[in-house]
Structure 1
Amino acid sequence: MEQKNGAVPRVAVVVFLLKGRSVLLGRRRSSVGNATFALPGGHLEFGESFEECAAREVREETGLKIAKAEFMTVTNNVMLDEPKRCHYVTIFMKVIVGVGVGAPKEEQEPQNLEPNKCDGWGWYEWDHLPQPLFGPLDKMVKAGFNPFSS
């Protein structure tokens, strides 16, 4: 595939925050995937580890503090049907809220700290996810991916 206008793949790190059988999702406000439900996450910064990026992005977007995120999987997403065509290599991380090393000592509630990028955060049962899901997440769900069994 020919490179267009100097466009290059970017790296995103997104986080499955799991609580019971629920996952934290927010409705995007973006030129890519607008009005779809997505996981918290964002661009990997130069020199940053996947774990550092996961913690930073979750804190910046939701105010939640996580100490440890675990690598789950990686996907290659070429999105040509979006108003802003893009290509992302997406690193998926997992945090189980309320249990284990990365769990906060007290219960935290997600806040919408970037209202210009997200309409708000909510916990959704894995078996009853809201629609429409952000493209890369939707493909994973339709392929049978389940963050609770990984």
Structure 2
Amino acid sequence: MENEAMSQQWTTKALYDAINATEEFPHREHLTLTLEHGTDPSISLELASYGDLHVHLAASGEQVFVSTVLCHADQVDDRAGFNDACLRLNPHNPLSNIGITTVGDEDVYTIFGELSSRSPLSNIIEEILVLAHNTIRAAHELKSFIH
């Protein structure tokens, strides 16, 4: 599957099947994997090894997008201070970025990363694991702002 990923772009369904079939994923027995159907399908991963962290993954066009919620904006006591702390932390988060997105009418802080949709499966797994690690680290570093 590795060589196929390099010559063809991943689709979300193909990526789901590959992750579901691989033994490469560390602590595979602690992974819950769900394909969420819809207009834009995505993969939901629940990582028990990272405190049941929920990570979402989707392949679209030229990129694979990996993301998770850091916190909801209404949980932040000092948004200006939190934003400043996020910007200062961002350069120290390898392969991950911190941003704000809107879900419904609510602002949500997310940690996300992207990589080529032609990336080998091992690189995508690495992105998921690094993002999970960075999310736990960011939550620890930023906990004084969150209630």
TM-score by length of 1: 0.25
TM-score by length of 2: 0.25
Q: Which has the larger radius of gyration?
A: 2
More helix by share: 2
- Larger RCO of the pair (alpha carbons < 8 Å, separation 6+): 1
